[in-house]
Amino acid sequence: MSHTDPEILALRALGETAGDPDDAGHLESCPQCRAELARLAEVVQLARNDGPLEALATPPPQVWDAIAAATGIVLPSVNGNHATATADHATPGADRTAGGPAPVPDSRPAAPGAGLRAWWKRRPLAAALAGLAAGLIIGVGGAAGVAQLTQAPAPQLVAHIELSPLPAFPQFQGTSGTAVMRATASQQVMAVTLNAPSRPGFYEVWLLARNGVSMISLGDLNADHTGTFVIPPGTDLDNYSRIDVSLQPFNGSTVHSKASVVRGSLPAVALKQA
């Protein structure tokens, strides 16, 4: 006889007793159909064991902001609307940022991709779909419900800082970057992304003091030009208030190469909040 009807295989994978004795007989003798049944049954087991499938979690908006900033696809908007949107999404206790003005004055023209971003925000398709599935699963799964993925508290966004090239370095014009400062109860973390081509050497991130001489090295950017750094506890950010990314040659020297690729300033408002 021919191979088992795929619909019968699917129903059998779900545990139903579908098909007639001929189907059962064929399944006994046909490794191809048995293998297909096993493949479908694995899906059913994965979906059923450990409770109903959990709805997917939607990443918070600052993740897209950081991606957009790092890729340069959409320049990060740091005007009031954006800051409010970020604060609105923040978790309880984020009143540090709520209602506050944008931490960085924005003198740039509107980003060319601003419309795109708005379009994206208007159509959180994946989120809606995931939510729908969650509703269904809760409805059917009953007591099993949908578990919370995690209860870990989100760090608070303290500041979103644009990094720009300095006029003194024409070779770095067109480069951009962002630094996102976040604070938890115990530490301050800065995530830096640089939108720059790979060059001989490596990129290093510094905090510069107001006197323009003292500096603290936070560390090197990864090969994809991103990096997350813990601000050394006790750092006086009122003084070390400028972020600098340098291009360092591979010469073993630990001091700043004096080749500043981009810079940005911590906004005063963030310093008070931090």
Please give the C-alpha separations between residue 209 and each of 56, 194, 217, 233, in angstroms, as whole numbers: 43, 21, 11, 16
d(CA 132, CA 55): 9
b/e per residue 177-189 (b: at least 16 CB within 10 A):
bbbbbbbeeeebe
Among 24, 110, 136, 268, interactor with another protein by CB under 8 A:
136
Question: Based on CB atoms, which residue is closest to another protein, 24 or 149?
Answer: 149
Q: Which of residues 182-211 bind another protein (CB under 8 A)?
A: 182, 184, 189, 191, 193
Say whether residue 60 binds another protein (CB under 8 A): yes
Among 23, 27, 52, 218, interactor with another protein by CB under 8 A:
52
- 112: its two tokens: 């060319």
Among 130, 209, 269, 274, interactor with another protein by CB under 8 A:
130
Q: Which of residues 82-111 bind another protein (CB under 8 A)?
A: none
Q: Which of residues 8-47 bind another protein (CB under 8 A)?
A: 9-11, 13-14, 16, 18, 32, 36, 39-40, 42-44, 46-47
| CB neighbour list of residue 165: distance below 8 Å, 6 or more residues apart | 172, 173, 174, 175, 176, 261, 262
Q: Which of residues 61-80 bind another protein (CB under 8 A)?
A: 62-64, 66-67, 70-71, 73-74
- As measured in angstroms, the least distance from the Cβ of 229 to another protein is 11
Question: Based on CB atoms, which residue is closest to another protein, 44 or 215?
Answer: 44
Q: Which of residues 142-171 bind another protein (CB under 8 A)?
A: 149-150, 152-155
Among 125, 185, 213, 255, interactor with another protein by CB under 8 A:
125
Half-sphere exposure of 26 (CA within 13 A, CB side): 17
CA 8 to chain centre: 43
b/e per residue 21-37 (b: at least 16 CB within 10 A):
eebeebbeebeebeebb
Number of residues interacting with another protein: please give it, by CB under 8 A: 74
Q: In terms of Cα–Cα distance, which of 237, 224, 232, 228 is closest to 267?
A: 237
- As measured in angstroms, the least distance from the Cβ of 98 to another protein is 18
Question: Based on CB atoms, which residue is closest to another protein, 100 or 131?
Answer: 131
